[in-house]
Chains A and B, each alone.
Chain A
Amino acid sequence: MTQLRFHKGLYNPDAIAAAVAAFEPFATFERSEEPEHLVVSLACTQPGEDEASLAGEFSNYVLGATVDRVKPEGQKS
């Protein structure tokens, strides 16, 4: 099982939820919370899968989804 910690001030919680939904066919997830981080533990469901790479792709997905959800400065309310 690989644990990823996403800082609450940096990563969008909706992006994490979207990533969990996208990677659900490939891994099982456990989510928990720390004072400053959202913690996601994932384990591959398919044998022979490289869990480190899957975790890396998951992290990349969350990062990309967070960037996509950031409003341009001019649109901030």
Chain B
Amino acid sequence: MTNEEIREQIDAIFESAIKHSAVTEHGDLVVHVAVEQFLMLMAYLKQNRDYDFDYLSQITGVDYLEMDPDREFRFDVVYELYSMSKDHHIQIHVGLPEEEPTLPSVYHLWRGADFPERELYDMFGIIVMDHPNMKRLLMPEDWEGHPLLKDYPLTVEEVAFSHNPDHKSELIKTPEDMKVDPWA
């Protein structure tokens, strides 16, 4: 099946849940879905024999705070799915709001989602429900904060010197900035 045919079928079946679907100029199929029907769409993509999306390649999280602060959904989670037998390739985007960044897990569809979903929690604070082992992956267990958020500083130390005029110095905080006044 071509990308265009898959896109039309998905649009027809999931009408209101699909926020946006397109075949880009490079030929990639991109689908934006609402989080409420997200799990249904993923299960459908896996179980439909014509599509046969049996391979989950990666899960990426993006924080759009700096690029577009007025965006409806602060986070965007991108899933890359392939079909090994039929050579299909689809990219699913789910938008998550800042107040409630929760997402159902696809671990029971593709076991390969184990580590990437834990990484989403660790790096962005996105809580993935029904995951068998939801805890921090890359940072130490008692680490506070989620490093890849745009308002998390790159480092808490002063750079000793920098001749780089583009150095985004607002991201580099000094230890004094990071101190929290307990009586405030």
State yes or no: do A and B come from one complex: no
